[in-house]
Amino acid sequence: MILDKFSLKGRVALVTGAGQGLGLGMALALAEAGADVALSTPGDAGSSVAEVEALGRRACHVPLDLATASPEDLAALVGSVVQTLGRIDILVNNAGVIHREAATDHSAAAWRRVLAIDLDAAFFLAQAAGRAMVAQGGGKIIFIASMLSFQGGILVPSYTAAKHAVAGVTKALANEWAAAGVNVNAIAPGYMATDNTTALRGDPVRSEAILSRIPAGRWGTPADLAGVAVFLASPASDYLNGAIIPVDGGWLTR
């Protein structure tokens, strides 16, 4: 049956930035599809773990501050997931931050922090997970890209640089690991109602300009990523490699 291709029963997923918003939404979707889930956040994630466990799945919290994590820390994070839950089959590289400031004033500290979380940590975590997945004969790595993987944006040069790079890294790793049974793809969310867009949604002029360009006529929600996340994590996507899938209400078509 085709729906069996979407089952994640017996799989183990690691989701970063899983304490709230898009990360938690995807973690719960993977759990609903049958996966056990490790949730990575810099702070407490007790309520998120409880939500996964309420779905009848195993869950654990693997805390780490990605802003200061070294490649060795990220490798240890993957090792902790394997030790606690037995293996790692799925990585959702979701954690990210954004800094809004004119390019003329964009500080070096802000640039480094955004790149450290959104690009460096994402790559080295994928590297560590990829090693384990290649060794076991397969796995699924899902990066979270952005509309700013395709466009330049306004007042977000560091975020745009990171998300363009995420799209490139997705393709590069897909080229290297596809033959080993590891699918590497990315989701590019459109304008989502999350903490990252609080300032935009609170600005009547910017909010109206954004909504007027979205054919669906609304901001996205974490639930809008559930289906594509399960698809990319499941055997249904076994022949998909290096794709950047927009989930944007049609934003890019305008």
- pLDDT tens digits for 25-53? 999 999 999 999 999 999 888 899 999 99
The pLDDT, as a whole number, for residue 83 is 97
Give all domains of the chain, ordered by start, each with its CATH number: 2-193+222-245 (3.40.50.720)
The pLDDT, as a whole number, for residue 21 is 93
Q: Is the pTM of this model over 0.95?
A: yes
The pLDDT, as a whole number, for residue 44 is 87
Each residue of 78-107: pLDDT tens digit?
999 999 999 999 999 999 999 999 999 999
The pLDDT, as a whole number, for residue 194 is 87
Find out whether 236 and 253 touch, Cβ atoms under 8 Å. Answer: no
Tokens of 66: 């990605």
Please list the residues that pair with 92 across neighbouring strands: 15, 142
Q: Note if 159 is an active site residue.
A: yes
How far apart are the C-alpha atoms of 228 and 17, rounded to whole Å? 18
Tokens of 39: 């949730």
Helix axes 226-233, 21-32, angle to 10 degrees: 60
How far apart are the C-alpha atoms of 156 and 178, rounded to whole Å? 32
DSSP symbols for 151-177:
S--SS-HHHHHHHHHHHHHHHHHHHHH
The pLDDT, as a whole number, for residue 86 is 97
Each residue of 154-164: pLDDT tens digit?
999 999 999 99
Cβ neighbours around 159 below 10 Å, total: 24
The catalytically annotated residue of 123, 124, 143, 159 is 159
Query: Which residue ranges of the chain lie beneath pLDDT 50?
Result: none
